[in-house]
Structure 1
């Protein structure tokens, strides 16, 4: 009795001490126990996703890749695999597993080592959210109390869902949704049983058991999971045997990018970091919808890349990138050796790396980096005459041996018919910007040939001389100062002595063709340099420069010298497109934008673009200070305060804008009468290939063809293209006719019309497809009268010597031309002449 009594006393005392210890431990760890609100509203670190306007994924940014899923979206076999491996009594215990704890304690007592953690899924969740992985007794105590707390406020399904979205699974994948995409490029419901088992085995050691880094260990772990599933009767014996014999199919899959638009995605990334800070931008699951349309963006990318290759090819083949063996003295490398050499070659854009293995008379055999053997036919080789300089090319080749040798590492591109063409990395650079001139929405933007090759965004960062693309702005200043489209100026050489330099300034037309007295409409359409200089002098340099500043250009970029008339100002393609939009929208300065909407991870709209429109009811513009406003204030200021349309500021009259667009329309369609040998072409005549009468445009070429431009538009789409070298001052040169190619090839000196406009035409063919014609609307305040083409005076004639011209009311001529034979200055160009 005494022994029993003392035993009971000992048990009571131990229980009391244990209770006191337990209470003490609880109060000790209580500060680390999360609040109910934290657990209910836990925010998973989710990457920022960037989408096109039509909802296709452009890119995602984040330190952790996570695709949150709900418990209903998780296949049952995957849940079974996780439970069988990590916590088979999950739906039975209260957050801690006494059996597991006892088993872990026995191991600790018998070995002295902490080999088993006895952690339930709930305890792992507690550690993953609130603790570290340090193996310490106090951490285990905290785990237990936090797990019990979690179980008291969340359901089992909620706990499991949180756990499966939180766990680290290697390769920056967090959660099973991201793991399925990273390792298999699949949705969860597309996974096979072996693939689910592989993912279920990763939580134990994501790095050591990674199927990409350690496929053998990963397979062994996968089979352990399958064995546990068999033991727990989640799968049958036949399913088990089939699954353990399945090969390892995991490989790294990047984000499922649906639209290639790296330049605008980088613009979005930088803007989001500026608005919200690095941590919040990258990890809170923002969904950013850009302004670009997926098909239009792809068309812009294709047009720019194809145009650069076309320029590069007409200047000749620069040779192989490397020589793996000398076909005359060395033995050929084996296929395995060639592929080993190619494995580290980085491919980008449309270029594919390959090695020439054999050369026939007019074909070559090539082994590609992916192991494919292809035949490079003569049609893919015959363009490749030797590059000598940017101004000289060799003779057209007659055999493949003049171009290639076995052992050479080369670049190739695939044609639409799946044949290949010899290629090379373009040396020149380019940029394309397309926007809606009515509200500034950027429809497409490409900042270079390849973002992987160069992250320099030429569309918004490269300030290049604009050449004759400046002339519409010069002529706009002239119209505001008394000139009309019918004003006559002398298209004749200018010689001006510069006392300070001791030389004469002689601006020349390009080409050096002079027509004598010429109307302003035709002068702009044919890009007459001397007329631009005469207009600048007539208006005044300072007044002209001040007029250009209305179009959003920076004062520091507008040099105040007479060379301004020829395009010496340096402007980015986006700045140029913005300024040019005023001629398409009736005279308003719109503000380009590329972010249409920002949503949080729950789909709540935090920001929605409310652009200023080209309209005539100006309202107060409100620009939120993103640094001081929280999300709710952003919504209030952007969505509510700006609910009504806001109008962009008017910078020129709608009449001025219309008249300039008319002259730019003539740059494409020309004028005169070809039947009477008075027809003439504008510098942008190649745009006639689009067969649309609603288009207006302007070429631009600087001295020595260093920078080339084409900008063109209708009422709804405006696009500017630049082509040049990244190193300013390098001329684009000229090319001679290649007798191996057809007559449609471009040759001669490079220029805005030949070098930049082809990309514009290819892009606009897609951008305008299916759109009805949208000419610039005829505004009030204009009159149309018939004028004499030679003098600009009124005419009674109704023949090829006259035409209707537009005038702002009060500026039309009041005198008629004398009724006598007229020398019409509308001579056609000879067939050898080329317009720039």
Structure 2
């Protein structure tokens, strides 16, 4: 017996030696195919790109993979306990491969005939997730075992577990427990309750089958298995198991928790990042900080929505969205209505609703969220039938003239009241810049990004109308004209052989006042004066001048209607041009990305824009005046200069001299505030904002197809545009830049300028003032009502005195058309 026992031991030793040798042979055979596991120490997990405002509000998130990388210290102990109890209870005891677990799984297979338990440790799963595929082959399993052992030699247990908890796929494109907490419950992982933790911990086995959105009952059962294992391992008490195993599964899909609505800006950032980093931009974990301020961005969005909705309501109601059931048919039940509405989109602030009851002066509706609401008469009475863009039907006498039971409508909240609404047919854009460096402070490219991704700020080329006139007058100042130079405000009747008819540009209103100084021509938006001024300086000179303001030359047709805004520019091109009037004549370049940071906090990119340096920086006034005049004739622009006063920042190039910029800015204040007995075209801004540091210009094109307002303070410049995407469609009679586009600008500025004190426009030292005669622009012998103080570039002031003569005073009330009508400034 002893002899046989010795022989058996000998055979066992030989088998063990052969097994060890075989295992060693397999290892050396597989070894060249094994990746370097030390790369796990510096692994870069695929994480989405996130776009923020300057002050840290989340604007957008891009990327297929949802992941929120967490350090072990940020992961709750209960989450760790739940995962280990379910996936690998002996994780901290085994060396990467768990023989006991393998034996237990083998016995379970033998007993049941199928695999009911997994034998892979968490370390093996890390090896598979980072280096291997999921193919079920012996070679892959052997590689996995060897990799797991090598991983354990290179990383600590906590490092391995941290990788696992951040890498594991958990359904709905959520990778890692941080993303799963957000996707399923809309919470940070630290905010999860025990039952929610158990649901997530149960997902690695089969995320598509066990997730709580698609399969709540399976998620319920799997959660209780996890809680049972936690109870078995002593991680929770019986009382906790009893409490949390009975809770219902409550989960729904949560997108990224965006805190600032700026999708047009987000899309601009996305395109820029893909240009810079390619498709890797979606997985590098980039944190892109834009230049927009969240307060100003929200103000821009609110102002644009209000302006569009106000315009839309003034032009009538186009009818309900859809008839769900007809009169005489069986009315839908509440559950059917709610199910229908749940599938309908919302376009903030518009919410889909269904009318369930109509009374004489009110209606009852069910909203998308299932709540019931009332539309009172004040919410309905505006809805005169839309006929054309210039005509409406009669005012409704009761709610039944507007609404029917069984119709889907749009409603919007207004304070405590629900208002009947509709999706606007027109659209709009608003963009604001810091004139010092071109940083975008707010940007809205349309009513709804969900409805139309066309970004009107940078993609919509529209006729600019009278918004072009400050650039014409600035070009004239660069050619030696002064604000006191006289241009004849008299009708023009010119035969055009090419069209076979006369071209007769008209003032709007059709009032002509004879010779007027340039200041009044711009402030009162005199069309015929603009045409005569263009003829005086030459079309080529003006084209070159526009190019110096950053407008693309291929969009500038050299013909006389150019003086009235026949060229087509985008809002961001327009606001860039106006920034030069606010910053001393410098052409800054708009930019919207402040910095880009990777997911470890390293700054990959930080913008260093050219800036509008102080007035004293750069070329002298005399040198600039000569170079500017030459450049307008030769298509050249002075190069950017280096400015010591801005800590070696590069100065933006001069578009016009600081003196000309100041004179135009001061004249555009006159366009806001008016004069003695007359109001400027932008008088609404004076009435609403009550600030004396605001300047601006309206713009209304022929047949009101495009309405504009551009204006600024020394610290902020903004442009608002409104029109139809269909270029042929008119905004209707009575719609002008002053009463339709300017209110958007005003509502934005009300918020954007809060807390900012008034600040005078910096005046170049070479600007002087002189008392000039109102009628001739020559020096005046005295004060009184027949003269006024005017600014001049030093050396351009009049040298002769005006003879005291009678006549009308163009600076007094005169026939300027009064308040409302002065704002029409039509294109032709």
> How would you bin the TM-score normalised by the shorter chain?
over 0.9
CA contact (8 A) 2:70 2:178 kept: yes
Equivalent residues in 2 for 1:467-506, closer than 5 Å: 467-506=465-504
Give the equivalent residue in structure 2 for 1:697. Answer: 696
Give the equivalent residue in structure 1 for 2:188. Answer: 187
CA contact (8 A) 1:436 1:442 kept: yes
Alignment match of 1:750 (pick from 729, 732, 735): 735
Unmatched 5+ residue regions in structure 1?
620-641, 673-678, 735-748
TM-score by length of 2: 0.93
3-state SS of 1:699 partner = strand
Equivalent residues in 2 for 1:99-248, closer than 5 Å: 99-107=100-108, 116-248=117-249
Q: Deviations over 1:123-160 (max 9, x none)?
A: 11111111111111111111111111111111111111
CA contact (8 A) 1:577 1:718 kept: yes
- Label 1:578 to 1:519 Cα distance change in 2 as closer, same or farther (>3 A): same
CA contact (8 A) 1:167 1:174 kept: yes
Cα offset for 1:116? 4.0
Give the equivalent residue in structure 2 for 1:633. Answer: none
Cα offset for 1:183? 0.7
CA contact (8 A) 2:358 2:364 kept: yes
Q: Is 1:371 matched with 2:370?
A: yes
Q: Is 1:341 matched with 2:340?
A: yes
In 1, the alpha carbon distance for the partners of 2:498 and 2:202 equals 81
Give the equivalent residue in structure 1 for 2:382. Answer: 383
Alignment match of 2:651 (pick from 647, 650, 657): 647
3-state SS of 2:134 partner = coil
Q: Is 1:723 matched with 2:727?
A: no
Cα offset for 1:478? 1.1
User: Which range moved further: 792-801 or 490-499?
Assistant: 792-801
| TM-align CA RMSD | 1.7
Q: Deviations over 1:561-582 (max 9, x none)?
A: 1111011111111111111111
User: Which range moved further: 823-832 or 771-780?
Assistant: 823-832
Cα offset for 1:727? 1.4
In 2, the alpha carbon distance for the partners of 1:831 and 1:281 equals 53
In 1, the alpha carbon distance for the partners of 2:15 and 2:349 equals 76
Q: Deviations over 1:338-357 (max 9, x none)?
A: 22322221111200111111
Q: Is 1:426 matched with 2:411?
A: no
CA contact (8 A) 2:671 2:696 kept: yes
CA contact (8 A) 1:695 1:775 kept: no
Cα offset for 1:289? 0.6
- Label 1:17 to 1:644 Cα distance change in 2 as closer, same or farther (>3 A): farther
CA contact (8 A) 1:586 1:658 kept: yes
Cα offset for 1:103? 2.5
Give the equivalent residue in structure 2 for 1:805. Answer: 790
Give the equivalent residue in structure 2 for 1:759. Answer: 744
Cα offset for 1:61? 1.0
- Label 1:832 to 1:37 Cα distance change in 2 as closer, same or farther (>3 A): closer
Alignment match of 1:796 (pick from 781, 785, 792): 781
Give the equivalent residue in structure 2 for 1:739. Answer: none
- Label 1:158 to 1:618 Cα distance change in 2 as closer, same or farther (>3 A): farther
Cα offset for 1:730? 1.1
Cα offset for 1:790? 1.9
Q: Deviations over 1:289-320 (max 9, x none)?
A: 10000011000001001110000000001110
CA contact (8 A) 2:710 2:719 kept: yes
In 1, the alpha carbon distance for the partners of 2:391 and 2:198 equals 63
In 2, the alpha carbon distance for the partners of 1:103 and 1:257 equals 47
In 2, the alpha carbon distance for the partners of 1:31 and 1:203 equals 30
Give the equivalent residue in structure 1 for 2:300. Answer: 300
In 1, the alpha carbon distance for the partners of 2:440 and 2:379 equals 36
Alignment match of 1:779 (pick from 755, 758, 764): 764
Equivalent residues in 2 for 1:552-591, closer than 5 Å: 552-591=550-589
In 2, the alpha carbon distance for the partners of 1:763 and 1:424 equals 23
In 2, the alpha carbon distance for the partners of 1:833 and 1:165 equals 65
CA contact (8 A) 1:584 1:657 kept: yes
Give the equivalent residue in structure 1 for 2:630. Answer: none
Alignment match of 2:668 (pick from 660, 664, 678): 664
- Label 1:3 to 1:87 Cα distance change in 2 as closer, same or farther (>3 A): same
Give the equivalent residue in structure 1 for 2:69. Answer: 68
Cα offset for 1:794? 1.5
CA contact (8 A) 1:618 1:646 kept: no
Equivalent residues in 2 for 1:404-443, closer than 5 Å: 404-416=403-415, 418-443=416-441
Q: Deviations over 1:715-745 (max 9, x none)?
A: 11000011011111211113xxxxxxxxxxx
3-state SS of 2:174 partner = coil
Give the equivalent residue in structure 1 for 2:507. Answer: 509
3-state SS of 2:738 partner = helix
In 2, the alpha carbon distance for the partners of 1:148 and 1:830 equals 88
- Label 1:37 to 1:93 Cα distance change in 2 as closer, same or farther (>3 A): closer
- Label 1:282 to 1:831 Cα distance change in 2 as closer, same or farther (>3 A): closer
Q: Deviations over 1:371-415 (max 9, x none)?
A: 111111111111111111101012222321221121121101101
In 2, the alpha carbon distance for the partners of 1:166 and 1:333 equals 47
In 2, the alpha carbon distance for the partners of 1:479 and 1:445 equals 32
Give the equivalent residue in structure 2 for 1:254. Answer: 255
In 1, the alpha carbon distance for the partners of 2:459 and 2:502 equals 35
CA contact (8 A) 2:508 2:822 kept: no
Q: Deviations over 1:593-652 (max 9, x none)?
A: 111011111101111111111116569xxxxxxxxxxxxxxxxxxxxxx98311101121
Q: How many residues align?
A: 791
In 1, the alpha carbon distance for the partners of 2:794 and 2:237 equals 90
3-state SS of 2:307 partner = helix
CA contact (8 A) 2:437 2:610 kept: yes
CA contact (8 A) 1:600 1:606 kept: yes
3-state SS of 1:412 partner = strand
Alignment match of 1:819 (pick from 791, 800, 804): 804
- Label 1:569 to 1:535 Cα distance change in 2 as closer, same or farther (>3 A): same
In 1, the alpha carbon distance for the partners of 2:434 and 2:544 equals 26
Give the equivalent residue in structure 2 for 1:291. Answer: 291
Give the equivalent residue in structure 1 for 2:823. Answer: 835
Equivalent residues in 2 for 1:430-469, closer than 5 Å: 430-469=428-467
In 1, the alpha carbon distance for the partners of 2:797 and 2:723 equals 42
3-state SS of 1:720 partner = strand
- Label 1:62 to 1:246 Cα distance change in 2 as closer, same or farther (>3 A): same
3-state SS of 1:771 partner = coil
Cα offset for 1:115? 5.2
Q: Deviations over 1:173-218 (max 9, x none)?
A: 1000111111111112211111010000000000000100011111
3-state SS of 1:596 partner = strand
In 1, the alpha carbon distance for the partners of 2:706 and 2:33 equals 64
Cα offset for 1:459? 0.4
Cα offset for 1:114? 5.2
Q: Deviations over 1:650-680 (max 9, x none)?
A: 12110111111111111100112xxxxxx21
Give the equivalent residue in structure 2 for 1:599. Answer: 597
3-state SS of 2:586 partner = coil
Unmatched 5+ residue regions in structure 2?
620-645
3-state SS of 2:728 partner = coil
Q: Is 1:95 matched with 2:83?
A: no
In 2, the alpha carbon distance for the partners of 1:10 and 1:113 equals 33
In 1, the alpha carbon distance for the partners of 2:318 and 2:719 equals 29
Give the equivalent residue in structure 2 for 1:741. Answer: none
Q: Deviations over 1:795-831 (max 9, x none)?
A: 1232222210011122112222222334212305357
In 2, the alpha carbon distance for the partners of 1:120 and 1:186 equals 29
Give the equivalent residue in structure 1 for 2:38. Answer: 37
